[in-house]
Structure 1
Amino acid sequence: MNILITGVTSGFGKQIAVDCIKNGFTVIGTGRRQNKLDELKNELGDNFIPLCFDIGDISATKMALQTLPNDILANIDVLINNAGLALGLESADKADISDWQAMINTNTLGLVNITHEILPFMVAKNDGYVINISSTAGNYPYFGANVYGATKAFVTQFSLNLRADLIGKKVRVTNIEPGLCGGTEFSNVRFHGDDDRAGKVYENVEFIRPEDISNMVLWLINQPKHININRLEVMPTAQTFAGLTVVKDL
């Protein structure tokens, strides 16, 4: 089985790649950090094919995929759209526009770019699976999630619309929507390298880990092909839906 995973240099993507290789699959892993991809190649061996490019760049995406052997590119069984990031937690009026643009480029445009390239091959062979990593931030608002939450809402709705478009074809689509997750670079990136601030997010919380998400992905892949899991929303037990805040004039 050939599995294409975006954003494999850390977090969910890295863990999913490691576990897929352990299960005997061939993994094509994308990322923007060549040194991290080289480390993974050394760790995972011949069944790992690294591709270094920015998925937000459609030309770079096309060029990178064209380096794959035709028998692999035309036979990708599973596409896991994992690459994504959050930047900043300021209110919308104080946010950095470059942060907004970076999130849109990766979380939305990047996912669209890679899906548009791979999906026709799946439809042509009438077999395939697209697994998108969204977020509960796409379902429930929280302070400072302005554009990040909006990009993840896009991912969720795009997944549902893919399911609608693919009716009658044997191509499955699942949207995974995790809540608070630790053990990744997510908050370190969000807070622009402020590791102390990032660490406080996870203090005294038994959060979701990359291994948990990877287990879900492997479970999905191993489901019978006549079953489609539309959505998986998952939170740590310590988390629940965002409360509605009312400010009163006193």
Structure 2
Amino acid sequence: MSKLAVVTGASSGIGEATARRLAADGFEVVCAARRAERIEAVAAEIGGRAVVCDVTSADDVARLATEVGDRLDVLVNNAGGALGLAPAAETDVAHWRGMFESNVVGTLQVTQALLPALVASGAGTIVNVGSIAGRVAYEGGSGYVAAKHAVAALTETLRLELVDQPVRVEEIAPGMVRTEEFALTRFGGDQERADNVYAGVAEPLVAQDIADAIGWMVSRPAHVNIDLLVIKPRVQAAPHKVHRDA
């Protein structure tokens, strides 16, 4: 029987790349995301299953758990994202709420719903996709920084609380990753501002880099827990320190 994995936010970017990587590694992958057409296409290409799921919706998450069933080997909590880059004194509070709902509450709801199946597998793994923003603050990033710090705190707390259970709790914290939609979503569809994030950066990370790292994390022997993997492009020393070509 093939192992089963769930990847949230699997319709694009890191989530899609991770779903493809895990499928290539022999997992049956349940691809969960909000956009039906995108998620169905990805699932069809990798021989997985598509579940339309907004992780902020309790009803959607319950339906995802029903689709998964009684046993699950790997959960990758990837759904989330950033909204805006305004100073904290001027930021849109609705953006904060949106980021906490998707990054934090969504991760919690999905984990709660699927934890029994992860325990039942006898060797489950949870990988929460955090960010270096969850370790170091940067100007303009207050809401995203706060949300990803909360993801890091949730991950650490779960690890403490589940230490007697056969479930690993891990976090991957990427730095600059150039994907099709992350910066575009942050800037409300403004392509020029999104492109400027990566201007002059010769080699930012790409989604496949993160997917490969997640594939490595979940393939370690069951007694090995990768608590935290921080992964950045060589030209990035910190969220606010990136070498750009002239």
Q: Give the TM-score normalised by the residue count of structure 1.
A: 0.91
Q: How does 1:62-211 map to 2 (within 5 A)?
A: 62-66=62-66, 68=67, 72-205=68-201, 206-211=203-208
Q: Answer with 151-160 or 96-105: which moved more.
A: 96-105
Q: Which residue number corresponds to residue 61 of structure 1? A: 61
* Amino acid aligned to 2:212: N
Q: List per-residue Cα deviations over 1:141-177 (Å, max 9, x = no partner).
A: 1111111111100111111111111112221111101
Structure 2 unaligned regions, length at least 5: 242-246
2:214 to 210, 214, 217: 217
Contact 1:108 1:154 in 2 (8 A): yes
Q: Which residue number corresponds to residue 233 of structure 1? A: 230
Contact 1:140 1:242 in 2 (8 A): yes
Q: 1:215 to 1:242 in 2, by over 3 A?
A: closer
Distance 1:186 1:30 in 2: 17
Q: 1:175 to 1:41 in 2, by over 3 A?
A: closer
Q: Which residue number corresponds to residue 31 of structure 1? A: 33
| Identical residues among aligned pairs (%) | 33
Task: Please state how far the C-alpha of 1:60 moved relative to its aligned partner.
Answer: 2.2
Task: Please state how far the C-alpha of 1:41 moved relative to its aligned partner.
Answer: 3.0
Distance 1:21 1:125 in 2: 18
Task: Please state how far the C-alpha of 1:122 moved relative to its aligned partner.
Answer: 2.3
Task: Please state how far the C-alpha of 1:125 moved relative to its aligned partner.
Answer: 4.5
Contact 1:177 1:233 in 2 (8 A): yes
Distance 1:88 1:44 in 2: 33
Structure 1 unaligned regions, length at least 5: 245-250
Q: Which residue number corresponds to residue 44 of structure 1? A: 46
Q: Which residue number corresponds to residue 247 of structure 1? A: none
Distance 1:214 1:208 in 2: 11
Q: Give the TM-score normalised by the residue count of structure 2.
A: 0.92
Contact 1:12 1:184 in 2 (8 A): no
Moved over 3 A (4+): none
1:16 to 15, 18, 23: 18
* Amino acid aligned to 1:34: A
**SS of the residue 2:205 aligns to:** coil
* Amino acid aligned to 2:42: L
Contact 2:155 2:171 in 1 (8 A): yes
Q: List per-residue Cα deviations over 1:94-153 (Å, max 9, x = no partner).
A: 212221111111001100000001112223443200000000001111111111111100
Task: Please state how far the C-alpha of 1:242 moved relative to its aligned partner.
Answer: 5.3
* Amino acid aligned to 1:25: F
Contact 2:31 2:43 in 1 (8 A): no
* Amino acid aligned to 1:42: A
**SS of the residue 2:170 aligns to:** strand
Q: List per-residue Cα deviations over 1:34-84 (Å, max 9, x = no partner).
A: 111122133223xx1111021101122113332x1xxx4211100000001
Contact 1:2 1:28 in 2 (8 A): yes
